[in-house]
Structure 1
Amino acid sequence: MLSTLPVDAVMRALADPTRRAVFEQLARGGEVNVAELTRASGVTQGAISQHLKSLKLAGLVAERPQGRNVFYRATPDGLAPLFDWLSHYDAFWRDRFANLRDLLKEIDS
């Protein structure tokens, strides 16, 4: 069986549109509790809690308990495995963009 790489966990977590929306809301809004996330999402509190658990396991979300509330925030460093994986394709895109630039110059001539 293949071992799960950190990039796999990040991709799996962000593959779900609701989890992506929760992550984006946390990335824009700072710390938010589950009740606020539930109001903004249109899904149940239980579903939000499960999405937060998946995001936390992937390293994309951190929590801070305060009394009876738990506040969640995005952890941008959790995206590092995804950026590292994408960086392997930098040369591929750089060459394509260079070809596109040459083509556009040729068309303008």
Structure 2
Amino acid sequence: MSREEIAAPEGFKALGDPIRWSIIQQIAEQDELACSLLEDTLPVSKPTISYHTKILAQAGLIEVRKRGRNYFYALRRDALRSLMDELWTMAPGPRPVGEAPTPRPAPESEPAAGDEASQQTALLTW
């Protein structure tokens, strides 16, 4: 597979395992994650970690770099975005563009915080 291509079924299948999901979450928190850190945080053996990272790499979700005897993993954020785009094509609708604005204090003439008119909204796009 080229860097741009990712097959949705393989990507979703790879993300469907709790151990692989945990690996993706840990890698997402950093630019690059050493395999030794996964060994410290996951309740599985080194061969099992290797098995799961191989599946994630084959699905195109992570990149693996070897330096000496150590392996380092980086998340392919473009691949995750591609999977999200696949889902949006099946269920199109408004997509969040950014975070909701910071709440501002309501003047006394506006409805109270619990009223429907004062609820925050997110900017959406099609």
| TM-score of the aligned structures, taking structure 2 as reference length | 0.65
Q: Given residue 63 of structure 1, which amino acid in structure 2 is its aligned partner?
A: V
What residue identity is the alignment partner of 1:50? Y
- Does 2:4 align with 1:19? no
Deviations 1:5-49 (A, max 9, x none): 700011000000110000110010221222210111121111111
Q: Which residue of 2 aligns with 1:104?
A: none
Q: Which residue identity lines up with residue 47 of structure 1 in the other structure?
A: T
Name the SS for the 2:73 alignment partner: strand
User: Aligned partners of 2:76, 2:43: CA distance in 1, in Å?
Assistant: 23
Q: In percent, how many aligned pairs have the same letter?
A: 33
Give the counterpart letter for 2:32 in structure 1.
E
The one-letter code of the counterpart of 1:10 is: G
Runs of 4+ residues deviating >4 angstroms: none
> Structure 1: which 5+ residue stretches go unaligned?
95-107
Q: Who wins on radius of gyration, i.e. which is larger?
A: 2
Partner of 2:92 in structure 1? Answer: 90
**What amino acid maps onto 1:90 in structure 2?**
P
Q: Which residue of 2 aligns with 1:72?
A: 73
Select between 5-14 and 81-90 the one with higher mean Cα deviation: 81-90
Aligned residue-pair number: 91
When the two structures are superposed, what TM-score results if normalisation uses the length of structure 1? 0.74
Q: Counterpart of 1:34?
A: 35
Aligned-pair RMSD on alpha carbons? 2.0
Which residue matches 2:122? Answer: none
- Extract unaligned runs of 5+ from structure 2: 1-5, 95-115, 117-126
